[in-house]
Structures are given as structure tokens and as C-alpha cells.
Amino acid sequence: MTRHAGIVFLVGAGPGDPGLITVRGLELLRCADAVVHDRLVPGELLVRAARDAEVIDVGKSAGDHRRQQKDINELLVRLARQGKVVVRLKGGDPFVFGRGFEELEHCRRAGVACVVIPGVTSALAGPASAGIPVTMRQVARSVAMVTASTAGEGDAPALDYAALARLDTVVVLMGHRHLAAICASLLEAGMSEDMPAACIERATTPAQRVARGTLAGIAREVARQGLGAPLITIFGEVAVAGGGSGLAHSGLAGKRVVVTRPASRQAGVAKLLRRAGAEPIACPVTRIEYEGDTAGLLEAVQRLAAYDWLAFTSAHGVRGFSRVLRKHGLDSRALSNCRVAAIGRATSRALHRVGIAADVVGKGGAGALAEAILAASATPPSRVLFPCGDHRRDELIDGLKRAGSVVEAIAVYRAHPVAVTDEAKSALKLGFDAVLFYSPSAVTNFAAVFDAGDTVAACIGESTAHAARRAGFDRVMTSAETTDEAMLNVLVRHFDETEVPA
């Protein structure tokens, strides 16, 4: 059989928390030419794919089968025959109720190399995230994992409830729609109506919720609390272990927060949101290209000694400027005759990484940075170079010009709009509580696709906040500092003050 140059990796994405993908799985995702993913794969993982990777959603849910399994099998083979490295990203583990073996066999029969990268299955990680062990000394020495879904398997045999009723622990996946029937069948098979039971919604994610009860009453408790799919159910004495939902106790617990930063800058803020108990939704609406005013930059670099101050209002400005320096064979020594100002700690850290120390670090927006520069100068500076983006912050320019300074704003990067992915659209359809905006252009691009509604907009700087109000956001929060931490603190304070504790 002819062996084709491409290859397919069946990668387990883990149970929901993007941090639970394996190191090997993440490495492959970052270098794949094509990513074919399921519905429940978190968007935070998808933004880790290479920028030029083809990302294809083949997710299926009850009543919504975007592609038949045979179509997915053929898609994998077709992509591999094009010589591509294909990552088939599947929730949990590819071989646990995931039809991964069917995909493996189809690839092999077609002469396409296929490798399985195991993942963390929700059948074990879900209970663990709620503090429930599926086995326990002297309590539970046997465990069964079953699925209640038989979609596309009309001839699938019924579950052997008599055998299940004799085991110590039973873990049921995909059982939300059939929960009452499952409980009735276990009761009929001899399991005690007082057997402890627990149901976990959206396990391992910040939106995780847990309902507890007994075999006789757990279905009613799930309905009362309004838990939905995906749902993991545990029957057995172990279900009394653990407690609570696993959520953090901040105002962001359980909130769905949209992050509009470019894909390359999503990871840091997503990590902070998860620590606070929120669920980040990756929705990049801009792409940064360091392709500024070439002629103007060249002229400015050649006469750096003529400037009193160099002002930066973003890490992107720092990166764009440092690239220009390197391109012309210069380094931080070229700045010996001028002082350097940065807005906030993030911009200051970006300067430090390229070997430049900020003389002044302004706290607040671009207007506050202008005030800081003037306060640090014996007389208003004559000339200030402002490396910025194509959507610059005029508060800095206006503040310095009023004092008599000449400000040269030169674009060192451009923010291009990018189309919102189908994955992000699907996630946003489920609702969201807040959006993080880092620039006016991000507000404009987001508002072109989604209505503001009653959503909270957390913005860096007054220019961004003004754009959010103009776009129809009624609840606009402004961060005085240009850091992710400051943005999250603004949200935490808002939700702590506006929501009554349960």
C-alpha cells in the first residue's frame, strides 16, 4: 500500500480546561498545518494553533450533526494526502467514547500515517475536579465508565444495568437527556434508592456546577438547579466526597469573559481569568503587523539625538520600534541623548526586555503619561518621538502640544481587523458577561459583528472607553493601568459591587 507524505495525529484535548491538554498535544497543535476539532474543544486551545493553520470545526451535538463521521474520516485522509500535518483535536481522550479508533482505522486503510496522542478523559477528571474519587480504599474497588448516548448506533446493545448495579462506582457520560431513565433502570436492577449520586456540569471549567443527591432524587435535583450538558453523573458511595462546585469565590466566578486581543496575546489574560474563576472566550478581532511608516521611521532613527523624549503607550509600540533599531544595526545606545517614558508596567516590562530602561512610568492613560513627562522635565520638552500604532492615542499628543512640545507620531505597527471565527461565534451565542477591549479598533471590529446589549465592557484607556460608549455599551469600565491584572481588578470590583451574594 502506498504511504502518503502527510500524517494525522489524533490528539486528546482533555476534559475542558485547556491547561489539561498534554505537552505533546500542545506541541503538535502549534506546528500543525490543519486542525480538525470537535465542538467542546475550548477556544483557548484553537488560538494556540499556528497563524496559517487551517482550522476546521466538525463538531457534533444532539440534533446538530455538521458532518457525518464518514465525512470526517475522508476529510482527514484528504488533508493528509495534500502533504499536511493534521491534528484531529478531540475532547477528552480519543479512544474513550470518541470514535477515535474508527478514524485511526480509516487512515490506515487509506495508507495515511496516523498516531494517537492520549488525552485526559472527563470520565476521571470530571469527578476529580469536584473532589470525588472514583475509587477509594474500603469503599470502592471497582468502577465502570459508560455512555448514555447511542447516536448513530441504532443496533447498539442496551446497557447491562444489572451488572452496573453490582459495581461500586458507575460514571455516566453524555447522560443529561436520559438521566431520569438511567436512574429508573438502575433502581429496577436493584441499586438502592439511597445510593449517593452527583452530577457535574461542564467539568474542569470555571463554569463547573455540581448537583448532589441520591439515585432516587438526583434527576429532580439536576432539573431544579438547571444543570445542562455536557454532564457527568457518578453513582456510588464515593459521590458523597468533595463539596462545592470548585469555583473561585471572586466576583468573576462563573462569568464568561470575551478576550479580543490578538491570538498571540491571549494566553496570559486567559490564565488570569481562569485563576479568578471566569471562563475566557477567545475572540481575536485584530491582528498586529509591524509594518509602519517606513520612510518616516528611517528618518526618525537617523536623527534620534534630536529628540528630548521617546514615549511609548503600548508593548506593540516597543516591539515595532525595537525592530526598526535592529533593522538599521542600532541598539539602546542610540537613545543616549533622550529620555524614555512608558505607560504602565506592561509597556515598561516590554522596554526592559529589549534592553531599555524607562525614565518615567506613567500610571493611568495616555493623558497621564503626558503629565508625567512634563512633571519630569525642567522645561517642556522641545521634541518628542511617539512610536505608535495606526490608531494612536491622541491624549498624549494633545497634552504635550498644549505645553508647547512638538510631537512626532510615527506608526510602527498596524492593527488589521480579522474575521471572527466560527468557534468564537458559537461560544458567544451561549452568552457572555463582559468583554475586554485593549484598543478603539478592537471595539469597532467587535461591534461590527455583535450587539453590545447589556454586556460590561472593560477598556484600557479613555480612547477605548469612548469607542465602547459610541458602539452602544452602557456599562463601560476603564482601567487606569495598561495591565491585564488591572483590567481584571476592574471587572472583579464591578461584579462584587453589583451582584448580591447567594
Active site residues: 38, 60, 174
What is d(CA 379, CA 175) in angstroms, rounded to the nearest whole number? Answer: 72
Q: How far apart are the first and last CA of the chain?
A: 64
148 three-state secondary structure: coil
- List, in sequence order, every beta strand (DSSP E) within 135-191: 143-147, 169-173
Cell triple for 468: 465602547
Rounded-to-integer distance, Cα 255 and Cα 273, Å: 9
Which amino acid, one-letter code, is at 255?
K
| Neighbour count for residue 252 (Cβ, 10 Å) | 27
Q: Supply 161's cell numbers.
A: 444495568
Q: What is the DSSP string of 299-314?
A: HHHHTGGG-SEEEESS
Helix axes 461-470, 440-447, angle to 10 degrees: 20
Q: Cis before residue 230, ω within 30 degrees of 0?
A: yes
Amino acid identity at 344: G
Angle between helical axes of 179-188 and 218-225 (0-180°, round to 10): 170
User: Scanning the structure block, which residue is given the C-alpha cell 431513565?
Assistant: 181
The helix/strand/coil state of 77 is: helix
Length of the chain: 502
Give one word for 56, left, alpha or beta, with left for phi > 0 and alpha for psi -120 to 50.
Answer: beta
- Rounded CA separation 222/210 (Å): 9
Whole-number Å distance between alpha carbons of 114 and 104: 6
- Name the strands in the sheet holding 7-12, side by side, starting at the edge strand that comes first in the sequence: 54-57, 34-37, 85-90, 7-12, 113-117
Alpha helices in 303-404 (DSSP H): 315-327, 344-353, 366-375, 394-402
